[in-house]
Amino acid sequence: MNNRLSGSLSLALIPFLVTRFLIIVVFVFVSALSFDEPVQEFGLRIQEPIISLNQSGLAQNIRTRILNADAAWYVGIAAHGYERLPFEATREHNWAFFPLWPLVLGYFGKITSEYGFTGAILANVFFFFALILLHQLVLEFGFLQEDAQRTLIYLAVYPTSYFFALPFTESLFLLLIVGCFLAAKKDVWWLSGVLGGLAASTRVTGLCLFPAIALLYWQRYRSINIKALTLLLIPAGIVPYMIFLHRITGNALAFLDVQKAWGHSLGLFLYPLWEYIRSPLDINFRWDFRLLNFLAALLAFSCGIVLLKRKQWALATYTLLCVLLPLSAMRLQSLTRYTMVAFPIFMLLAEAGRSTRIDQIIRTVFLFLLGLMTLLFALHFSMAMS
């Protein structure tokens, strides 16, 4: 193992272990919590809790708490496959969820005969390797060693970083997109195309990689040759799923057309931001932690603009597309979660963190919010699940 890889591994290990330990403790604590009587008038009456690590069914309680929201959909696909029926969008269908993560989860789940904890273990493994690659990528873009270390810390303590520890797509997706950028920076364009194609088969936002990596290529060569054609593997990554959907539903774009069953529709990306500005005191609405999502959108836009001014076209393009695409669905919902895979945000925050005061503020605020949001997720509050 070369010195650089060994250094990346050791620097990734501490933020990974500390934050994952915090998340595990929260889930175990909440799963061990019970009441003699059902909770009534939440927060108004004094409750009498019982916390016991001896209780039977503790592992099942933990498993139930990690299989929430999208995780349940992915486990359902991994265990039973996609729904095979003619396309319709009057109700929610699992066609909206891309196939690579369920395929990986299904393969290992069949080995372990269990999907919840298996998915969580895989997510943590993928996240750890993503941190290692991210450290190397930050250095490839010319940032300082200390900046690369802070990048890993800020990402690990980001308020919704618990998604990297649960059976969701975030960890695998982050690993693939960071690997895609790193391969491009190292001039291995075919590998960049392959990893980008896998990212596009994990989440539709993987398509954001194509213009970003194409800009990296153009900045280096200012011409188009056979190497450039390998980048077409990125958008091609979505094609097998489209063929499969056409085969089982009759609609190759079922993943897109079914979105209206979730209340999503295409529109001007500024509308959700304007809606929040009109009613800023509405902090949360059901599945939408509006304040946190609004701040995440502002952070992503600010970082994208800074990167544009620095002529970091590839990083700017990827960052802005990560926020523009979900906002174009006319909702703020899940913006904090969507932007946490926009790794250039954390690179710029790490640069700002050269100031000790700013570094302390970022760490304190992020860590507090991570603990709070993890607790809310484990307690089944929808505002932490989106």
Q: How high is the pLDDT of residue 80? A: 94
The pLDDT score that the predictor gives to residue 87 is 94
Q: Going from the first residue of the chain to its last (386 residues), give the mean pLDDT of each consecutive group of 10, the final group possibly shorter.
A: 75 94 93 75 72 81 90 94 93 94 96 94 97 96 95 97 96 98 96 97 95 94 85 96 96 92 82 89 88 95 96 96 90 91 97 97 96 93 89
Domain count, the chain: 1
pLDDT for position 342: 97
Query: Is the distance from CB of 269 to CB of 304 less than 8 angstroms?
Result: no
pLDDT at 101: 97
> How high is the pLDDT of residue 223?
81
CA distances from 49 to 32, 35, 62, 326 (A): 10, 5, 17, 40
What b/e sequence results for 174-211 when a residue is b if at least 16 CB atoms lie within 10 Å of its CB, and e otherwise? bbbbbbbbbbbbeeebebbbbbbbbbbbbbbbbbbbbb
In-domain check, residue 316: yes
Whole-number pLDDT of residue 268? 81
Residues 322 and 302: their CA atoms lie apart, in Å, by 13
For residue 172, tell me if it sits in a domain: no
- Asked, for residue 202, whether it belongs to a domain, the answer is no
pLDDT of residue 40: 65
Amino acid 1: pLDDT: 56
d(CA 310, CA 249): 46
Residue 329 lies in a domain: yes
Residue 332 lies in a domain: yes
| Domain residue limits at 347 | 264-354
Residue 328 in any domain: the answer is: yes
Is the four-CA dihedral 259, 262, 265, 269 of positive or negative sign? negative
Burial class (CB in 10 A: 0-12, 13-18, 19+), 284: middle
d(C-alpha 94, C-alpha 307), whole Å: 36
**pLDDT given for residue 244 in this prediction:** 97
Residue 159 lies in a domain: no
Residue type, 38: P
pLDDT at 2 (0 to 100): 67
In a domain, residue 205? The reply is no
